[in-house]
């Protein structure tokens, strides 16, 4: 092992791995958006199926009309938001236990993806609320707890951008990531614990929906779960590359 | 898709909200994907530059 390789290993840097990871640098960013793996193509196929189911296959709801179709993408957006924050929770615990940078990179990536999908859930909910409730926003328990959840993870991202030291940043963010997750079951249970105007679709008696609506919802939930996994994978790759760049920078400055 | 009111009229109000919601969803996904791709391109450019510096100092190092 050369002197340089020894230094690289002591800093957790494998220069050969970094060289391989950077091999797609010549590709344009538009080319990189196109599916390059089976998961990407699967996501694309599911998006087509979800759009067909939500816009054509599912019957028009008798009271709300076509506005109800927003539900097929609003609920999955909220679901993958919760799922992402669940990943932040697990990854944060794993970081505190093992101090492996991969877990911190996963937590940071999942938090950003979660904020994106929760933003979509909040905005689409608001668009649905206007024709249905007659207002864009109501301080209803479900809406309020979801907004708090969104603010917690926006704060998480801001905290990460403010702390320079990587280990300190990861540990502080992990604490926020773990504590912030407490709000997820509160959001889910809010429509059961408090009086609310938010619709209750899934109750103790199952789903109060037409079978074709349930099928459509399941297709859309699967689509968004696959989409979230695909985006999370891309975002994690970016975070790991940032870590590589930081370690290489440190190594060059030390030499 | 329904969108037809009694009398054969199209329920444009309902469809406008539906269109707005779908635009928000897919625009958000697309813009976020673009943002990841553009950030990745910039990090890869930086990685290439850093690798070139390391290679210049020790050519065997990045050879695997």
Q: Is residue A98 part of a domain?
A: yes
Q: Is residue A2 part of a domain?
A: no
Domain hosting residue B64, numbered range: 32-64
Q: Is residue B53 part of a domain?
A: yes
pLDDT of A10 above 50: no
Q: Is residue A27 part of a domain?
A: no
User: Which positions in chain B have a beta carbon within 8 angstroms of at least one beta carbon in chain A?
Assistant: 1-3, 11, 13-15, 17-18, 20-22, 24-25, 28-29, 32-34, 36-41, 43-48, 50-51, 53-54, 57-58, 60-64
Query: What percentage of residues in chain A have a pLDDT greater than 70?
Result: 84
Q: Is residue A249 part of a domain?
A: yes
Q: Is residue A73 part of a domain?
A: yes
Q: Is residue B9 part of a domain?
A: no
Q: Are A84 and A114 in contact (CB under 8 A)?
A: yes
Q: Is residue B10 part of a domain?
A: no
Q: Is residue B40 part of a domain?
A: yes
Q: Is residue A244 part of a domain?
A: yes
Contacts of B12 (CB under 8 A, 6+ apart): none
Contacts of A236 (CB under 8 A, 6+ apart): A105, A106, A109
Q: Is residue B59 part of a domain?
A: yes
Count of domains for chain A:
1
Count of domains for chain B:
1
Q: How far is B16 from chain A (nearest CA, A)?
A: 9
pLDDT band at A249 (very low <50, low <70, confident <90, very high): confident
CA B51, chain centre distance (Å): 27
Number of neighbours of residue B40 by Cβ within 10 angstroms:
21
Domain hosting residue A206, numbered range: 36-254
Average per-residue pLDDT for chain B: 81
What are A20-74's pLDDT values in tens digits? 555 454 556 566 556 778 888 999 999 999 999 999 999 988 888 889 999 999 9
Q: Could you give the CA distance from residue A60 to residue A55 in angstroms, rounded to a whole number?
A: 9
Q: Is residue A45 part of a domain?
A: yes
pLDDT of B64 above 50: no
What are A218-237's pLDDT values in tens digits? 999 999 999 999 999 999 99
CATH code at position A46: 1.20.120
pLDDT band at A247 (very low <50, low <70, confident <90, very high): confident
Q: Is residue B23 part of a domain?
A: no
User: Are residues B58 and A235, on separate chains, in Cβ contact within 8 Å?
Assistant: no
Nearest to A227 among B24, B29, B62 (CB): B29
Q: Is residue A6 part of a domain?
A: no
């Amino acid at each position: 092992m050369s002197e340089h390789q020894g230094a690289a290993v002591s800093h957790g840097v494998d220069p050969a791995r970094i060289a391989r990871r950077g091999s797609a640098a010549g590709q344009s960013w538009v080319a990189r958006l196109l599916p390059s793996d089976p998961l990407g193509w699967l996501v694309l196929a599911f998006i087509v199926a979800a759009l067909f189911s939500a816009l054509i296959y599912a019957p028009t709801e008798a009271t709300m009309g076509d506005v109800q179709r927003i539900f097929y993408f609003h609920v999955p957006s909220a679901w993958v938001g919760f799922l992402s924050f669940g990943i932040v929770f697990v990854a944060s615990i794993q970081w505190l236990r093992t101090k492996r940078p991969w877990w911190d990179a996963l937590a940071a990536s999942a938090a950003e993806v979660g904020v994106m999908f929760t933003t979509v859930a909040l905005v689409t909910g608001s668009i649905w609320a206007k024709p249905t409730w007659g207002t864009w926003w109501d301080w209803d328990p479900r809406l309020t707890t979801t907004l708090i959840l969104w603010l917690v993870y926006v704060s998480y991202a801001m905290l990460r951008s403010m702390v320079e030291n990587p280990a300190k940043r990861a540990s502080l963010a992990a604490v926020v990531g773990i504590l912030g997750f407490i709000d997820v079951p509160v959001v889910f249970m809010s429509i059961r614990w408090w009086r609310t105007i938010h619709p209750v679709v899934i109750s103790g008696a199952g789903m109060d929906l037409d079978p074709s609506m349930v099928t459509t919802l399941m297709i859309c939930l699967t689509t968004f779960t696959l989409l979230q996994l695909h985006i999370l994978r891309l975002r994690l790759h970016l975070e790991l590359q940032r870590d590589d760049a930081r370690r290489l920078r440190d190594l060059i400055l030390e030499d | 898709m329904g969108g037809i009111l009694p009398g054969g009229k199209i329920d444009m109000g309902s469809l406008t909200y539906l269109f707005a919601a779908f635009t928000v969803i897919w625009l958000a996904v697309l813009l976020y994907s673009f943002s990841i791709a553009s950030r990745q391109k910039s990090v890869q450019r930086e990685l290439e530059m850093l690798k070139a510096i390391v290679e210049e100092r020790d050519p065997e190092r990045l050879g695997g």
